[in-house]
Amino acid sequence: MLNIMCFSLILLVTLHLYLLKIKLHFLGALLTLEAMVLFLLILTVSLSYSTLEGLNIYYFVLTLSVCEAAFGLTLLISVVKLKGSDLINSNYNM
């Protein structure tokens, strides 16, 4: 169980550093955020089974991840409608 927790924590930090590097597309940033949430869910499940707490924190993180995904897709659609692309660094002045 400790190997799964260490692996998901390392991947979570790696994806966080990759998210800081993404400067071109909103869609790539959203996919990276969703991968981070996936590894956070794996981390919370392994942590809840090792401490015998139950799955309450898992449900909380799952609810927040659904809200984050919906909000991210809403922002992506709004940006694409305004700019015509999902580029972050475009020279379009509103």
Chain centre distance of CA 35? 5
**CATH number of the domain encompassing residue 56:** 1.10.287.3510
Per-residue pLDDT tens digits for 38-86: 888 888 888 887 777 777 888 888 899 899 899 989 988 988 888 887 7
Q: What pLDDT was estimated at residue 71?
A: 92
* Domain carrying residue 48: 2-83
Residue 47 inside a domain? The answer is yes
The number of distinct structural domains making up the chain is 1
Q: Count CB-CB contacts under 10 A for residue 44.
A: 21
Residue 90 covered by a domain: no
Which pLDDT band, with edges at 50, 70 and 90, does 22 fall under?
confident
CA distances from 35 to 11, 20, 28, 82, 88 (A): 9, 14, 11, 27, 20
Q: Is 44 part of any domain?
A: yes
3-class secondary-structure state, position 25? strand
Asked whether residue 15 is domain-assigned, the answer is yes
